[in-house]
Structure 1
Amino acid sequence: MSQNSTRRVTSADVARLAGVSRATVSYVLNDTPKQTISAGTRTRVLDAATRLGYAPSAAARTLRTGRSDVVLCLLPDWPIGPELGSTLNNLSTALARQGLTFVVHPGNREDRPIGEIWKAITPAAVIAWSDFSPAEIAAMRSAGVALVVALLGHGGEHERESTVPQDLIGRRQAEHLVSTGHSRLGYAYPDDERLRIFADPRLAGVRQTCRRSRVGGPATETVALDPGSAAAAVRRWQAAGVTGVCAYNDEVALAVLSGVRRLGLHAPGDLAVIGVDDIPPARLAVPPLTTVTTDQAAVAEFLTATVVAAIAGRPAPPAPSADLVSLVRRDSA
């Protein structure tokens, strides 16, 4: 066969090169049990498949097994930062261990309707961060999608909520500041509207802690990733008597720290700052950034177990505990 050919290699090509039937190729490559195939024949088939670069198509596997092995992840129009990248990497690894293929589709529903995406891929499960409409859920169920997960959804009848409630992250931040003596808190909100799906519940968690602990705030300021914007926010926080700030994430927290330095102030003496995510630059900040982190590997294992259980028709595993979210104590708060 010409190396310049663009035709897809098929099991028939492997069978011809190995000198066996297509059925034998199928038995060997799928490791079909209860087949008496000699070691020599098995080796010839595997060598032929390797030489030709043959891999069974996803569609063929679906027809053979009665189910897809693809898990489709729909990403909204978000910036993909270190934390989201870690989530996707961990999930891909955990799913691969179960023989499942992880496919990520970035973008938004205005770019291409959800139906066009999952119909083209025929996945076993669909994971997204935002809610699906009842019509979307019904269509996916009718097509045999075993599991529909809206990680930051509202938990309707056919969907499941995130394993880590975002308000818990905000509570962890505020609880730390309250425990270290701060009596009026601020919140550094991101200036990217696309992040509201995370920022609003985190801010709600900070508010809950302020009410429960009877401390002032949170005085909320939108902080761009810019020292000047951050310095202006720090001035307003100081005028309002704020002594500790919960930032939406580590990047926003680093901006706040730069604003503190620009004004000739110091953290945590003049203003304590705590972030979220524990990105690598957090430990290089001046001072090193106190932050809240989530065990993304454990989240990925739970989501994978949920997908596998749904495909097999078994009950979902119990959700992991709130211990997934923990404090990383450094010098900024």
Structure 2
Amino acid sequence: MAGITSADVARESGVSRTTVSYVLTGRDGVNISEETRRRVRETATRLGYAPSAAARALRTGRSDLVLCILPDWPVGPVIETLLDELADELSGRGLSVLVHHGRGARPLSDLWRAVTPRAVIGFAPFAEDDLLAMRQAGIQVLGTLGEDRQPDPDLPSESQLRIGALQAECLTVRATRLGYAWPADARLAVFARDRLRGVQRICAELDRPEPVVLPVGLDVESAAEAVRAWRGLGITGIAAYNDDVALAVLAGMRAEGLSCPDDCAVVGVDDVPAARLAAPALTTVSQSIEVQARYLAALVLADLDGAAEKPGHPGHGLHLVERDSA
């Protein structure tokens, strides 16, 4: 039923709107019997009443929403796991996570003014005017590393560089020349760029040739075409942007009648569930997403509690998961 208000709940329950508000917001120190509380909750459930987050924020002076702003990224298992773990961590303090994907031309200010978040987590740098407006409105703004200032998007990410380095360090044990499987989705270029730089850094340190970079789509035909090209250049080790791309490379190798790792070794990134089920099981770099989610939650809670010190960064938790593909 649309348009249900607290007045409807009050009328059906035989109590005042004030009593409904006290019961549904969990207010302590108010003399309301358990029978009345039960009746109000049951009536609200039966009518389908949900308190307005904006109205609650106006009454209490604070919101229970933590708004996560995602850029226009494809959402895969890693982001899903991060957001799920973050929601679990914050729910213990009565906070809810709302996710917004930055697609379309609607101004960000329209969003945070509509939902009145208590805190905003940016997964990429905000425009300076958005950042200033949120802070002036008293909204706590965090980056995923707890930055006090906006990170420079042109500077390489140390964690992404390390991912590529771990891939290259594994592959160069046996491969003299590497290939890099670049994602076909252009939205992933910012991550792929720095991971590739990490591979290039290790190749340079070992005086190996530059990795041969080829785009690989998530289909057998695209992957097989890249595999043929790498094979013709003597490539015997491939660092893939992530596990999805690595699994495509494995499919392309099978289509070309090649064996992994005998003909060519492959290393992915993310350690998705399918990685251990692949044939051969995929060697990959894990990002320890659960650790990052707990750190993000701790940052939010420390800032909301006005803690003098922020929690220490746990490190990126990157490590190589060795399986049969390399």
TM-score normalised over the length of structure 1 = 0.86
**Are the structure 2 counterparts of residues 163 and 202 from structure 1 closer, same or farther at C-alpha, using a change threshold of 3 Å?**
closer
Query: In 2, Cα distance between the equivalents of 1:252 and 1:187?
Result: 10
More deviation, 249-258/209-218: 209-218
Check conservation: 2:144, 2:296, Cα contact below 8 A. Answer: no
1:143 aligns with 2:144: no
**Are the structure 2 counterparts of residues 47 and 256 from structure 1 closer, same or farther at C-alpha, using a change threshold of 3 Å?**
closer
Check conservation: 1:147, 1:310, Cα contact below 8 A. Answer: no
Query: In 2, Cα distance between the equivalents of 1:219 and 1:90?
Result: 37
**Are the structure 2 counterparts of residues 210 and 65 from structure 1 closer, same or farther at C-alpha, using a change threshold of 3 Å?**
farther
1:225 aligns with 2:221: no
**Are the structure 2 counterparts of residues 232 and 29 from structure 1 closer, same or farther at C-alpha, using a change threshold of 3 Å?**
closer
1:274 aligns with 2:270: no
Secondary structure, counterpart of 1:165 in structure 2: helix
Aligned pairs (5 A) from 1:198-237: 198-237=191-230
Secondary structure, counterpart of 1:78 in structure 2: coil
Give the Å deviation of 1:181.
Answer: 3.1
Check conservation: 2:122, 2:141, Cα contact below 8 A. Answer: no
Check conservation: 2:131, 2:141, Cα contact below 8 A. Answer: no
Query: In 1, Cα distance between the equivalents of 2:76 and 2:279?
Result: 21
Counterpart position of 1:127: 121
Superimposed CA distance per residue, residues 41-81 of structure 1 (whole angstroms, 9 cap, x where no aligned partner): 33333333333333321112212322221122223333222
**Are the structure 2 counterparts of residues 259 and 53 from structure 1 closer, same or farther at C-alpha, using a change threshold of 3 Å?**
closer
Query: In 2, Cα distance between the equivalents of 1:58 and 1:160?
Result: 34
Residue identity matched to 2:111: I
Counterpart position of 2:238: 245
Residue identity matched to 1:16: R
TM-score normalised over the length of structure 2 = 0.88
**Are the structure 2 counterparts of residues 92 and 44 from structure 1 closer, same or farther at C-alpha, using a change threshold of 3 Å?**
same
Check conservation: 1:188, 1:221, Cα contact below 8 A. Answer: yes
Give the Å deviation of 1:203.
Answer: 1.1
Give the Å deviation of 1:157.
Answer: 1.7
Q: Select which of 303, 307, 318 maps to 2:312.
A: 318
Query: In 1, Cα distance between the equivalents of 2:280 and 2:221?
Result: 19
**Are the structure 2 counterparts of residues 276 and 325 from structure 1 closer, same or farther at C-alpha, using a change threshold of 3 Å?**
same
Secondary structure, counterpart of 2:181 in structure 1: strand
Gaps of 5+ in 2: none
Residue identity matched to 1:191: A
Counterpart position of 1:44: 39
Question: Identity percentage over the alignment?
Answer: 49
Give the Å deviation of 1:317.
Answer: 1.4
Query: In 1, Cα distance between the equivalents of 2:157 and 2:291?
Result: 10
Superimposed CA distance per residue, residues 206-229 of structure 1 (whole angstroms, 9 cap, x where no aligned partner): 222223344333222222223333
Gaps of 5+ in 1: none
Q: Select which of 43, 52, 57 maps to 2:52.
A: 57
Counterpart position of 1:24: 19
Query: In 1, Cα distance between the equivalents of 2:131 and 2:219?
Result: 41
Counterpart position of 1:7: 3
RMSD (CA atoms)? 2.7
Give the Å deviation of 1:268.
Answer: 0.6
Check conservation: 2:157, 2:194, Cα contact below 8 A. Answer: no
Counterpart position of 1:303: 296
Counterpart position of 2:112: 118
Residue identity matched to 1:34: G
Query: In 2, Cα distance between the equivalents of 1:97 and 1:45?
Result: 24
Superimposed CA distance per residue, residues 184-204 of structure 1 (whole angstroms, 9 cap, x where no aligned partner): 222111121111122111112
Check conservation: 1:290, 1:331, Cα contact below 8 A. Answer: yes
Query: In 1, Cα distance between the equivalents of 2:33 and 2:292?
Result: 43
**Are the structure 2 counterparts of residues 137 and 30 from structure 1 closer, same or farther at C-alpha, using a change threshold of 3 Å?**
same
**Are the structure 2 counterparts of residues 39 and 264 from structure 1 closer, same or farther at C-alpha, using a change threshold of 3 Å?**
closer
**Are the structure 2 counterparts of residues 76 and 305 from structure 1 closer, same or farther at C-alpha, using a change threshold of 3 Å?**
same
1:284 aligns with 2:277: yes
Aligned length, in residue pairs: 323
